[in-house]
């Protein structure tokens, strides 16, 4: 199963406070463990919401709102995409993670939908399109 491991933002990450050299070193070592174990597929930190936008959909209308966004606890400071055998395995890896922020922080783990989760609505034609797009993405990355 694939999961998205979400590092929640806090006041410091939203203020653009950069991690210390020690934390970067610890996270680098943790990421290296994840890659060697075949767990990590992708991951990055995100800039503060002040550098982002939100696009709200209402029927055919689109409204763009510039950041920053008020609810820090609802924001994401970074993420990983992992391939694990179970949610328990993902939890075990997160428990080994260095604290991603000074003081308190929170990491959320969310399963990613797989093709079989969509049932009959995900027709053979849609599956073929999905496979083609994934192959195209892999080729663009040089994989």
Dihedral sign (CA 128, 130, 134, 139)? positive
Taking a C-beta distance cutoff of 8 angstroms, is the pair 14, 68 a contact? yes
- For residue 74, name the pLDDT band (cuts at 50, 70, 90): confident
For the chain, the structural domain boundaries read 2-112, 116-143
Assign a CATH topology to domain 2-112: Alpha-Beta Plaits (3.30.70)
What gap in Å lies between CA 50 and CA 52, rounded to an integer? 6
pLDDT at res. 52: 96
- For residue 143, name the pLDDT band (cuts at 50, 70, 90): low
Classify burial at 45, counting beta carbons within 10 Å of its beta carbon; exposed 0-12, middle 13-18, buried 19 or more.
middle
pLDDT in tens, 8-48: 999 999 999 999 999 999 999 999 999 999 999 999 999 99
Query: Mean pLDDT over all residues of the chain?
Result: 94
pLDDT at res. 124: 92
């Amino acid at each position: 199963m694939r999961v998205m491991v979400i590092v929640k933002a806090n006041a410091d990450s939203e203020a653009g406070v950069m991690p210390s050299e020690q934390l970067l070193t610890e996270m680098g070592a943790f990421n290296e463990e994840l890659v060697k174990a075949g767990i990590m597929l992708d991951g990055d930190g995100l800039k503060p919401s002040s550098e982002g936008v939100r696009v709200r959909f209402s029927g055919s209308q689109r409204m763009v709102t510039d950041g920053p966004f008020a609810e820090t606890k609802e924001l994401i400071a970074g993420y990983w995409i992992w391939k694990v055998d179970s949610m328990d395995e993902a939890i075990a890896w997160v428990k080994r993670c260095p604290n991603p922020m000074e003081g308190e922080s929170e990491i959320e783990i969310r399963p990613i939908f797989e093709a079989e989760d969509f049932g009959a609505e995900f027709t053979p034609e849609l599956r073929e399109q999905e496979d083609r797009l994934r192959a195209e993405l892999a080729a663009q990355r040089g994989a």
